[in-house]
Structure 1
Amino acid sequence: MTFRKIIHVDMDAFYASIEQRDNPQYRNRPIVVGGLPDQRGVVAAASYEARAFGIHSAMSSRRALELCPEIIFVRPRFEIYKQVSNAIRSIFSRYTDLIEPLSLDEAYLDVTQDKLAIGSAIDIAMEIKKSIHSELNLTASAGISTNKFVAKIASDINKPDGLTFIGPSKIESFIEHLAIEKFHGVGKVTASKMKGLNIFNGADLKRLSRQQLIQYFGKVGNFYYDIVRGIDNRPVEPYRELKSIGAEDTFKEDLYDVSLMLHELNIIVSKVQRRLASKQVKGHTVTLKIKFSDFKQITRNYTHVAPIQLEEIEQFAIDLLKQAPIDGKGIRLLGVTISNFNPYKNNLYQLSLF
């Protein structure tokens, strides 16, 4: 049987590492890239020194300051980050043209047939990591396996500067021992539901039949059934039709306070901004999704004549929220999506994030 050779490369604390590289005064210091606390800012990235205090991306800057009073806040420089990403993409392309970027700082590579005929995916990953370090003075972690799901999880195991290989004979055992929270695509809400069904790891998930998983989780149950058995046939896709970019969050407790809604909206918008920046696109339509405590759902959207700038998204989303018929109802979910991108040749967008 012939197996694919998939590498998932994930840069280590990408934005923060670039700032520490370019600014000696930030080195070995706890820093976050993001907005300021007094402006309801959100952490976009945290250095490993900051993470030691429990600070992480999407956390409010105010909370980050509470956890680490000596934290240094740095404004993001997306143009610089994109330039570095282009250099990383250039390194990847030495080995393969099958590159699927997920964001500015991570990508899948299919090196089943690599350009340099090296053959070993482990050796290729090591060379990529070495080149990133020597040419860009940054570190990356790599996961290597026969499919995208396992490669992505593997890249996170030995961070920073890690390299983890999960071979074909080890995949099922690896997934069986994997905590359910570590499954890529299983969020907090789904993880909580799984635990309520006594599903705590891959082995627990594997005990359920396909029919049971579909009954509990809908169509995604098919994915869970296959993935826990190491089955993931998704190819690395350099080209993809781009229709929308968004983010949403389901809250542990329903929101009634408008200030809390605005805070959560700020976090969601920050995620959307990062994803748009990584894909280097701008859309004309912003859509706000609201799900109430009774599970009824509404959407409101606004289309702008000119492409919507990153800094404009939050205000448009706030305006849509203010216009929505909330009337004291509890909100369990908010989502923001940008769509209606400028047309591209053949309606295809090449993911040239790097």
Structure 2
Amino acid sequence: MEKTILHLDMNSFFASVEQAANPNLLGKPIAVGGGIKKGSVVAACSIEAKAFGVKNAMSTWKARKLCPHLIVVIGDMTKYIYISKIITKMMVDYTDLVEVFSIDEAFMDITKTQDRFGGAIELAKDIKRRIKERFKLTCSIGIGPNKLIAKLAGELQKPDGLVVLREKDLPTKIKDVQVKELCGVGRKTEEYLRLLGVRTIGNLNSYPREKLVKSFGMAYGEQLWQMGQCHGASEVRPYFYETQAKSIGHSYTLPKLTSNTEEINGYLLRLSEQVGRRLRRENYKGNVVCASIGTGDDKTSSHQKKIKDFINDGYQIFKVAKSLLAITNKIRFVSVSVSGLLHQLDQISLFSHVENQKKVLAAVDKVNDRFGEFTIERAAIMSTGLQGKTGMVPPKLYGLRNFKMELRGIEPLTSRMQI
């Protein structure tokens, strides 16, 4: 039985929410972000701004050079999460199998429920109608036999599109589509494929399997070949399905460019403490620390190190991260993450100072949980508060685990159906 997977993607979500909330912004090029301060970035931009070449994650100053009359709006993540939760609740009215892909994007498996709503197309139209009536927002919907093709279908008609691709249509109907449109093909892969003469999905479909494996390795080469055959995962994991974290991290765009090592280390320590807090809150420890810095010319350098012990202490994370970075240019961005995670690992140490440190961290966490982040903090980071931090990131980069936490409490369809 051919599966029917629906992919929903909100069009220019953050920017469209702001335009719907303020009619004076309708039809105008706007960017949502942290403001116009040096170092701020565009988290999302309107369709009108995109026409000038403005893109998500672009620095605000560069966006305003491309579009001098760009209106910059301070983002409100609370508002976006609230609307996204309601849209998720709408989708759950049609099936329990709703997989949240990001704050503005989701998959639905409607194979067994579509007939109740007049078929896949009528179901999709009903979702689009409800979203537009409630929020004055549009979305693009793609329908296909698996997640890869459903997402691709949604990309083919934007904004406010509805495209259906059936197995019988493949690969004929998409043979001329650029290979970069496939989810999982990034810029570097696209460039490498172009050197091999692979520019379209049709090219990829006919390219020899063994040559892809030779060029990209067994795992990724096989994956690319499967994508060229229009095969992809069809399992939709519902929003209430718990998955273990692969990494936990924090990043920050500095208010101004700096090469001051002491100042950069202050931000690095504060971020490391935040990572440690989250690790402890979610009962994780990790043994791979990654640190990244970004320079004024938008270049990023990342280094990671695997250590012997599994840790969740912010200061220990900081010491490893600090050893990885060499500051030679002015910095505008810094991030820290921990991976190699193990869940619920809390072995009792034979050394009293280790156990005493655990008690100190637990006490600090308890106070900060009650009175707010950094109510108690190390003296070394008191001079480096994350000033002007809005929490704004492009929608696709918003922490999926964070958003799934927000979805707790949405009642599944099956529990609301009368038997």
Q: Equivalent residue for 2:201?
A: 202
Residue 135 of structure 1: aligned partner: 134
Q: For the residues of structure 1 that align with 2:259 and 2:210, how far apart are their CA atoms?
A: 41
The match for 2:304 among 283, 298, 309 is 298
User: Which residue identity is paired with 1:100?
Assistant: E
Q: How big is each residue's C-alpha offset from its partner over 1:73-108, in whole Å with a ceiling of 9 and x where there is no partner?
A: 111111111110111011101100000011111100
Q: How does 1:124-163 map to 2 (within 5 A)?
A: 124-163=123-162
Note the alpha carbon deviations across 1:220-264, whole angstroms, 9 max, x for none.
Answer: 1111111211222430111241313579xxxxxxxxx979xx9xx
Aligned to 1:75: 74
- CA gap 1:76/1:287 in 2 versus in 1, 3 angstroms: farther
Equivalent position amino acid for 2:139 in 1 = A
- Is the contact between residue 100 and residue 109 of structure 1 (CA under 8 Å) also seen in structure 2? yes
Could you tell me whether the CA contact under 8 Å between 1:95 and 1:116 is conserved in 2?
Answer: no
Within a 5 Å distance, the mapping from 1:1-354 to structure 2 comes to 2-114=1-113, 117-218=116-217, 219-238=219-238, 239-244=241-246, 287-289=289-291, 298-299=304-305, 303=312, 323-326=323-326, 337=337, 351=404
Distance 1:40 1:25, change over 3 A: same
Q: Structure 1's 227 and 241: CA in aligned 2 closer, same or farther, altered over 3 A?
A: same
* Cα pair distance change 1:336/1:200, threshold 3 Å: farther
Quote how far apart the aligned CAs of 1:305 are: 5.9
The verdict on how the C-alpha distance between 1:5 and 1:45 changes in structure 2, with shifts beyond 3 A counting, is same
Task: Tell me, yes or no, if the aligned pair for 2:209 and 2:222 is still in contact at 8 Å.
Answer: yes
Amino acid at match of 1:17: S
Q: Conserved in 1, the CA contact under 8 Å of 2:10 and 2:138? A: yes
C-alpha contact 2:289 2:321 (8 A) present in aligned 1: no
Cα–Cα, structure 1 residues 116 and 171, in superposed 2: closer, same or farther, change >3 Å?
closer
1:171 shift after superposition: 2.1
Residue 37 of structure 2: SS of its match in structure 1? helix
SS in structure 1 at match of 2:99: strand
Name the CA shift for 1:50/1:327 in 2 (closer, same or farther; >3 Å): closer
- Indicate conservation of the 8 Å contact 1:8/1:106, yes or no: yes
Determine the C-alpha separation between the residues in 1 that align with 2:80 and 2:342.
Answer: 22
1:299-319 Cα distance to aligned partner (Å, 9 max, x none): 38984569xxxxxxxxx99x9
What CA deviation, in whole Å up to 9, does each residue of 1:202-237 have, x standing for no partner? 222223332221211121111111121122243011
- SS of the equivalent of 1:83 reads helix
Kindly tell me: are residues 17 and 342 of structure 1, through their superposed partners in 2, closer, same or farther at Cα, counting changes over 3 Å? Answer: farther
| Partner deviation per Cα, 1:113-148 (whole Å, 9 max, x = no partner) | 117712511111111000101122211110011111
Cα deviation for residue 35 of structure 1 reads 2.3
Name the TM-score, length of structure 1 as normaliser. 0.75
User: CA–CA distance in 2 between the matches of 1:34 and 1:50?
Assistant: 13
Rg comparison, structure with higher value: 2
Report the Cα offset of residue 201 of structure 1: 1.2
Task: Show CA shifts across 1:17-42 (max 9, x none).
Answer: 11111122222211111123433011
For the structure 1 residues 196 and 328, does the alpha-carbon distance in structure 2 shift closer, same or farther, using more than 3 Å as the test?
farther
Maintained 8 Å contact 1:284/1:305: no
Q: How far is the alpha carbon of 1:157 from its aligned partner?
A: 1.6
Question: Residues 206 and 327 of structure 1: is their aligned pair in 2 closer, same or farther, counting only changes over 3 Å?
Answer: same
**SS of equivalent residue, structure 1 residue 97:** coil
Question: What's the offset of the Cα at 1:284?
Answer: 8.5
The separation in 2 between residues aligned to 1:92 and 1:151, in whole angstroms, is: 16
CA distance in 2, matches of 1:56, 1:104: 18
- How much has 1:16 moved relative to structure 2? 0.5
Q: What is the alpha-carbon distance in structure 2 between the residues aligned to residue 195 and residue 18 of structure 1?
A: 37
CA distance in 1, matches of 2:2, 2:336: 39
Residue ranges of structure 2 left out of the alignment (5+ in a row): 250-257, 265-270, 272-277, 294-300, 345-400, 408-419
Number of paired residues?
307
Change in Cα spacing, 1:105 to 1:327, as seen in structure 2 (3 Å) is closer
Query: Which piece of structure 1 moves more, 153-162 or 11-20?
Result: 153-162
Distance in 2 (CA, whole Å) between partners of 1:174 and 1:159 is 17
What's the CA shift for 1:320? 7.2
What's the Cα RMSD here? 3.8
Residues 150 and 171, structure 1, Cα contact 8 Å, conserved in 2: no
Bigger mean CA offset, 98-107 vs 225-234:
225-234
